[in-house]
Each structure stands twice: as structure tokens, then as C-alpha cells.
Amino acid sequence: MNAFHHLMLPDDVSFIDGSVDKYAKNTIPGTTDMTAAITAAVNSGHAVKFKSGQTYRHTPLAFEGVDIDWEIEGGAEPATLYCDTSPASSQASFSGEAIGSTTVATAAYPMDYVIELASTTSIQVGDLLKFVNTALAWQSDDRGEAFEGQLARVEDIDGSNVYLDATLAVGMPIGASVRIYRPIQVRMRGIRFQRLAINGSSRGVLIE
């Protein structure tokens, strides 16, 4: 019986599931656009691997609702993610998934941590709720949403009531908006981010 044996060479590490180099050849590190390859590696469902010491050029990256687990392979030197576009957006952004929204069903007051909502159908323990009171007098200034409300984690659910990990800092009237987010985990080891040197400010990595 004939058998085919494949000898694993050092470069074959590129074909490990989750390896960015599996999805595109980084022909000229720092010049070849690896944006699509990085995205494909993230979407593979495996830990994303970058070759130690290599530079991966990309355009701004944005991932929502997906856990991030990035690491280097083949050495101890950091891998560099390099973005050379204008700073109109973050070099990379990682955000929890926006699940939906509901409203406050019964007026809540400062120091309350049990809040009755119009619906809890799409809410899970561990979700983050952003309570927004647009009626607050100071919400119209240049601080934006910073003082419109607050973010709190759901510790328990009992019917239409949610139990929060923190008490409300301000009251929430009936009908106040409640935005629902499912948080993600972000874990990186040996990854360095670099942006094109420009005059003025530049946006780096955003995790929210």
C-alpha cells in the first residue's frame, strides 16, 4: 500500500488554524495589505496567530461581538500591526455586540439597583445595560453622553426586573432608554500597534 508522508517544514506554521499567514502571504512585511487575512483569521473561531518579528500592514480594523485572542508564534519578538491611513478612525476597535434596546417601565431613583424594564426577553446575566436619561439638564453640553446615564452589568433577572452590579447614580424616568450590549473578552500577547507618523493627534486602539 502506498502512503504519502508530508514533512512539516518550519514555514508550515503558517497553515495552523487561526494563523494570519494561512489566509494571505505577507510578501513584503509592512507593505503588503494584510487586512483581509487578519479579518479571516478572526472569523475562523481560533486564536489568531501572528509571526514573531513580522510587521502586518492593515487598514483600520473593526470587530463587534467577537472575542479577541491574539498571540505571536515562532519566537518571542513582538509582531507589529502597522496602519498607514489617516487618523479619521481608530487603528483597531473591538466592541461588544449591540443586542437591542428597551425602556424603563417603572421610575427608578438614585441608589436603586433593581430596575423594572418594559422587556427582558433579549437580556442575559452578564450583559451590560446603558441607561440613558435624555431629560437631564446637563446632557446638552460638550460632554456628550458622559452624564446622560450610566453603564451597569446585569447580575440577575427576575421577570421584568433586572438586578445590577451598581446602584443608579441618577434617576431614570418611565420610558428612559436602556441599550443592551453583550460584552466581549480581549486577550493579546506580544502584539504591538504602530500608526503612521503624522502631525496632530492619532487614534489608536479602542476597546468598548
Query: How many whole angstroms separate alpha carbon 123 and alpha carbon 129?
Result: 9
- Cα torsion 18, 23, 24, 30 to 10°: value is -30
In this prediction the pTM is: 0.72
Can you say how many angstroms the Cα of residue 108 is from the centroid of all Cα atoms in its chain? 30
Q: Contact, 61 vs 35, CB < 8 A?
A: yes
Q: Contact, 91 vs 205, CB < 8 A?
A: yes
Q: Contact, 157 vs 53, CB < 8 A?
A: no
- Dihedral sign for Cα 21, 24, 27, 31, please: negative
**Of 177, 170, 163, which Cα lies nearest the Cα of 113?**
163
**Of 188, 192, 189, which Cα lies nearest the Cα of 55?**
192
Query: How many whole angstroms separate alpha carbon 170 and alpha carbon 203?
Result: 31
Q: Write the burial class of residue 103 (CB in 10 Å: 0-12 exposed, 13-18 middle, 19+ buried).
A: middle
Position 87 scores a pLDDT of 65
Position 150 scores a pLDDT of 87
| Residue pLDDT tens, the chain, 208 long | 455 444 444 544 557 889 999 999 999 999 999 999 999 999 998 999 999 999 999 999 999 999 999 999 999 999 999 998 866 678 999 988 889 999 999 999 999 999 999 999 999 999 999 998 876 544 444 444 445 678 899 999 999 999 999 999 888 999 999 999 999 999 999 999 998 765 555 678 888 7
